């Protein structure tokens, strides 16, 4: 009987101890979960604050960088207008003006993405890229030298370096066309040296055209355009459109505008600074 009581008492004590340990474990578990949740909330708040600060810095630096680029462009333009810049440097500048800004947009997007993913190492890399760019263009007009433009070329992506080098190795000027001002359309455009302004009554606008060119209907595009007697409509499968072209014209890729266009033999890509566009001329 006494032995039976001992067994019952032992079971009772073990049950009490088990309940006590369970209670302690539950309290510890709840406390751990609560602490973990608080820690996560603190971390999330810190990360959100860091993102907000970085995005403000990104916008401020972007505005400052574009302002500095405008000053740089104005400085180079003064050198061009005064004849102090060689044609070779002028060519390199116009190439950079188109390609570098495209690269900057891609780097800005990449910087934004790295900020949102809190990739601080990549954020630091992108910031260093823009610091190098800003340091290079923070110059007065008298300091724009070949080394300056070489430094800017070094900032281009590999693909655009190839485009820039290809263009630089080729010709720049051509007697086939030149920039002319169209006062009726209030714009500058490339046109052959012997061309003159003619009125297109069907499109109600003035266009540069050669003496032997007259208005013809392009039935595929349902529009009228100036063309010579020997020119016929040709299809451009890459752009899905038709245009009047000469027999010797062939399709060439315009990497700056990311499109295909018909061009005559010997024509090259030329930059129109007034419309900020490239075309085969």
| CA R_g for the chain | 34
Parts of the chain with a pLDDT under 70 = 1-36, 38-40, 139-146, 166-176
Task: Provide the pLDDT for residue 175.
Answer: 45
pTM of the model: 0.49
Question: What residue segments make up the domains of the chain, in order of their start?
Answer: 42-169, 178-280
Task: Provide the pLDDT for residue 152.
Answer: 83
Asked if residues 216 and 224 have their Cβ atoms less than 8 Å apart, the reply is yes
Q: What is the per-residue burial (b if ≥16 Cβ within 10 Å, else e) of 207-245?
A: bbbeeebebbeeeeeeeebbbeeebebbeeeeeeebbbb
Task: Provide the pLDDT for residue 141.
Answer: 47
Task: Provide the pLDDT for residue 223.
Answer: 92
Integer Cα distance of 252 and 274 in angstroms:
23
Task: Provide the pLDDT for residue 54.
Answer: 87
Helix axes 120-137, 2-81, angle to 10 degrees: 10
Residues 6+ apart with CB under 8 A from 157: 103, 106
Task: Provide the pLDDT for residue 228.
Answer: 92
Task: Provide the pLDDT for residue 31.
Answer: 56
């Amino acid at each position: 009987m006494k032995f039976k009581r001992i067994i019952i008492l032992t079971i009772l004590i073990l049950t009490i101890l088990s309940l006590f340990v369970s209670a302690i474990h539950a309290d510890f578990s709840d406390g751990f979960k609560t602490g973990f949740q608080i820690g996560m909330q603190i971390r999330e708040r810190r990360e959100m604050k860091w993102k907000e600060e970085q995005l403000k810095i990104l916008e401020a630096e972007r505005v400052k960088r574009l302002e500095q680029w405008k000053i740089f462009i104005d400085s180079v333009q003064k050198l061009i207008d005064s004849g102090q810049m060689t044609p070779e440097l002028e060519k390199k500048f116009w190439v950079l003006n188109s390609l570098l800004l495209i690269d900057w947009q891609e780097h800005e997007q990449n910087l934004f993405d790295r900020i949102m993913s809190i990739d601080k190492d990549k954020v630091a890399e992108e910031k260093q890229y823009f610091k190098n760019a800003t340091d290079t263009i923070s110059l007065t007009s008298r300091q724009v030298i070949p080394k300056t433009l070489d430094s800017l070329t070094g900032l281009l992506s590999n693909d655009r370096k190839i485009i820039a080098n290809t263009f630089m190795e080729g010709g720049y000027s051509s007697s086939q066309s030149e920039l002319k001002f169209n006062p009726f359309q209030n714009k500058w455009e490339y046109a052959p040296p012997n061309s003159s302004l003619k009125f297109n009554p069907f499109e109600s606008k003035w266009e540069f055209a050669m003496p032997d060119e007259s208005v013809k209907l392009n039935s595929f595009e349902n529009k009228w355009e100036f063309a010579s007697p020997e020119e016929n409509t040709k299809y451009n499968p890459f752009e899905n459109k038709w245009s009047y072209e000469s027999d010797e014209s062939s399709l060439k890729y315009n990497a700056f505008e990311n499109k295909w266009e018909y061009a005559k033999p010997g024509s090259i890509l030329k930059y129109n600074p007034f419309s900020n566009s490239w075309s085969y001329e």
